[in-house]
A and B are shown apart, each in its own frame.
Chain A
Amino acid sequence: GAGVSQSPSNKVTEKGKDVELRCDPISGHTALYWYRQRLGQGLEFLIYFQGNSAPDKSGLPSDRFSAERTGESVSTLTIQRTQQEDSAVYLCASSPQAAGVGETQYFGPGTRLLVL
């Protein structure tokens, strides 16, 4: 079946512009995660959705970052007034059930964001 998809795959933008990143999880997956991966580093947790609700937004780096999920399906991560330090790969993952011990996350290919 189809895996997690993300779009766009690459995005180049100018400092100060807003960008919107999209994630389509595996159909029927309840949990959805966003991560940021800077070059040569591990993944940094951003936000988790259980259904359409995000119980914890504390991983978002600043108030320029926001995310939403609708229909217990597609999610968008929006970065307003982008800064050069926002340049990274943004990864989305989903899992079949609510987050729990041992729950495997299935990852999308990521969106590579470059802010000039």
Chain B
Amino acid sequence: ELKVEQNPLFLSMQEGKNYTIYCNYSTTSDRLYWYRQDPGKSLESLFVLLSNGAVKQEGRLMASLDTKARLSTLHITAAVHDLSATYFCAVGRVDSNYQLIWGAGTKLIIKP
């Protein structure tokens, strides 16, 4: 059974600092997604990672995937207040082209 764990679940940090959110999963997968959710808003797609060693960057966010370690990281560089949100990773089941297993989310608060 595919399980997805994120850590930390809650992170409070100061503007300008760097930090990393981790997403571990328990069995083989062929796709991993990162989403952002602002309070009361829809989830917004950030990155799709499909292969071992994949790295994608958008602004101050960078995501990477290590399929051998079954680990993805979301790195935040020089955080700014606008990045405060809850970040979710979701991992695809290899036996299903539509089912994603979601992590519990990391609530990130960035203090000005």
Contact = CB atoms under 8 A, between A and B. Distances in A.
Contacts of B4: 42
A1 interface: no
A40 interface: yes
A107 B43 contact: yes
A3 B99 CA distance: 22
Contacts of A48: 98-99
Interface in A88-116: 91, 93, 98-102, 104-110
Category for how many chain B residues contact A: 20 to 34
B50 interface: yes
Nearest to A9: B40
Contacts of A100: 97
Contacts, number: 61
Chain A contact residues: helix, strand, loop or mixed: loop
Interface string B42-75: 1111001010000000000000000000000000
Given A42-B88, A102-B48, A31 B41 contact: no
B103 A99 contact: no
A110 B37 CA distance: 12
A110 B39 CA distance: 11
Interface of A: 3-4, 31, 33, 40-45, 48, 50, 56, 59, 91, 93, 98-102, 104-110
22 contacts: A3-B42, A4-B42, A41-B104, A42-B4, A42-B90, A42-B104, A43-B100, A56-B96, A59-B99, A98-B97, A100-B97, A101-B31, A101-B50, A101-B92, A102-B31, A104-B33, A104-B48, A106-B42, A106-B45, A107-B35, A107-B43, A110-B42
Given A91-B43, A102-B31, A107-B43, 14 more contacts: A40-B104, A41-B105, A42-B4, A42-B102, A43-B88, A44-B102, A45-B100, A48-B98, A100-B97, A101-B31, A102-B48, A104-B48, A106-B45, A109-B41
